[in-house]
Amino acid sequence: MNLVPPALLASLDLPAILDDLPIGMAVLDREGRVLTVNTALERLTGFTREQARGVPCRHVVRSGLCQCSCPAEEPQDTDIVNRLRRRIPVRISAIPVRDVSGQELFRLDLVEDLSAIRDLERRLEEPGAIGKLVGKSRAMERILRLLPAMAQSAAPVLVVGETGTGKDAVAEAIHKLSPRSREPFVRVDCGPMSPESLDAALFGRGQTGGEISAGAFQRARGGTVYLSDVGELPDALQARLLKFLDEGTMTVAPEGAPTPSHVRLIASSPSEPEELVRANRLHQDLASRLSAVRLHLPPLRERREDIEFLLNHFLGFFSAKFRKNITGFTPKARLLLLAHDYPGNVRELRNLVEYAVMVCPRTSIPPECLPAHLLNHLAVPGGGT
């Protein structure tokens, strides 16, 4: 039997070799304590190799197998709970490394992140949807096709659309489809808030003793910061945001030094950036940078073919949520719902269906189970159901 010479083994840079692997790996001693972990497992669990070293594996990987079938010599699918208490689907297998006499020297635990596969499976199981985005119209199909490509870029994204069209859901979907999906998604509403509070919410605030109260850019780390209603940002914060986009650095008030930040920025607005510039609500330079990738969400009245699809989608969702056997709408209730213009867009439609399912005692929703303001706005032709 040809053995690898000990001198060659000693010369190998094992940590560097493990760091080149695309899946998580932990090296454990015979007692199940961590000797080292690679970079992929650091990202997955949130624990650095220094923090993990010497700790029992069950306190680092924290999987559902720890109490029943560890080590998993046959690959097994389970979940782990990372340091941020996120539950992540994984596939774990163990490889014992033995000497020539068969004595186990150490064990390699392989931890493969299945998040992308599970997301893809869910999208395939739910036609016409990605995450919370649902639609079958040509406009929505185009948006659903664009999102995976947008997610692979690091460029800023500006999502434009009326209230209720799904801007928040688009931002979250882009993050979840991206390589940053394991990192935090941090949302900041740029609406009514004092400039000082908004500055601290975005960039953090220096404290006595040199400590920093973390803002969105610190909490997101390598993830995504999403700014809702970006046109509400004060001028000074727009300048700081432009500096971040130009230089990739940020400073913490009052006298912090510039530090690199690798987050991706997504912003949204109910108005087109050109309108915001004309109204002196958005600097031209910032508007240009934010619009590197722009996505327009059409209002529901411009994609009416989605209304019936959405009615059925949310009916099924809320019937299951409230454990009710409601299979549809009566003909006149459906006519009312199809005739409505939905000024509040998808959010309004969802709320209407949730209310109707909640109050309806029958298997089909009649007009009288719809909100009163809808019945007042659209007269029920001929009465009855």
CATH number at residue 230: 3.40.50.300
pLDDT of residue 8: 45
Looking at the structure, do residues 105 and 172 belong to the same domain, yes or no?
no
Looking at the structure, do residues 330 and 236 belong to the same domain, yes or no?
no
Please give the tally of structural domains in the chain: 3
Q: Which of 298, 331, 350 is the last residue of a domain?
A: 298
Half-sphere exposure of 95 (CA within 13 A, CB side): 7
Looking at the structure, do residues 35 and 85 belong to the same domain, yes or no?
yes
Backbone phi, then psi, for 22, in 5-degree steps? -80, -10
pLDDT of residue 210: 57
Q: Is residue 71 part of a domain?
A: yes
Q: Which of 113, 139, 157 is the last residue of a domain?
A: 113
Looking at the structure, do residues 182 and 285 belong to the same domain, yes or no?
yes
Instruction: Walk along the chain (385 residues) in steps of 10 and give the mean pLDDT of each run.
Output: 45 69 87 90 91 91 74 78 89 86 86 75 52 81 89 93 94 90 91 86 73 82 93 92 89 71 94 95 94 93 93 91 92 94 94 96 95 74 49
Kindly report the pTM of this predicted structure: 0.65
DSSP code at position 134: E
Looking at the structure, do residues 289 and 319 belong to the same domain, yes or no?
no
Cβ 213 vs Cβ 204: under 8 Å? yes
Q: Is residue 211 part of a domain?
A: yes
Cα distance between residue 250 and residue 335, in whole Å: 54
Q: Is residue 2 part of a domain?
A: no
Domain that holds residue 275: 118-298
For residue 65, what is the domain's CATH number? 3.30.450.20
pLDDT of residue 113: 87
Cα distance between residue 128 and residue 130, in whole Å: 7
Looking at the structure, do residues 291 and 209 belong to the same domain, yes or no?
yes
pLDDT of residue 377: 67
Q: Which of 298, 330, 363 is the last residue of a domain?
A: 298
Looking at the structure, do residues 77 and 202 belong to the same domain, yes or no?
no
Q: Is residue 145 part of a domain?
A: yes
Cα distance between residue 170 and residue 161, in whole Å: 11
pLDDT of residue 125: 46
Q: Is residue 76 part of a domain?
A: yes
Give the residue from 215, 234, 250, 251 showing the smallest Cα distance to 286.
234
pLDDT of residue 223: 92
Looking at the structure, do residues 28 and 124 belong to the same domain, yes or no?
no
What count of other Cβ atoms lies within 10 Å of the Cβ of residue 139?
15
Looking at the structure, do residues 28 and 138 belong to the same domain, yes or no?
no
pLDDT of residue 251: 78
Q: Is residue 9 part of a domain?
A: no
Looking at the structure, do residues 251 and 131 belong to the same domain, yes or no?
yes
pLDDT of residue 130: 61
Query: What burial letters (b/e) apply to 225-241, b meaning 16+ CB within 10 Å?
Result: bbbbbbbbbeeebbebb
Cα distance between residue 131 and residue 181, in whole Å: 13
Q: Is residue 21 part of a domain?
A: yes
Q: Which helix (H) or strand (E) holds 36?
A: strand 34-37
Looking at the structure, do residues 31 and 103 belong to the same domain, yes or no?
yes
Looking at the structure, do residues 66 and 167 belong to the same domain, yes or no?
no
Q: Is residue 371 part of a domain?
A: yes
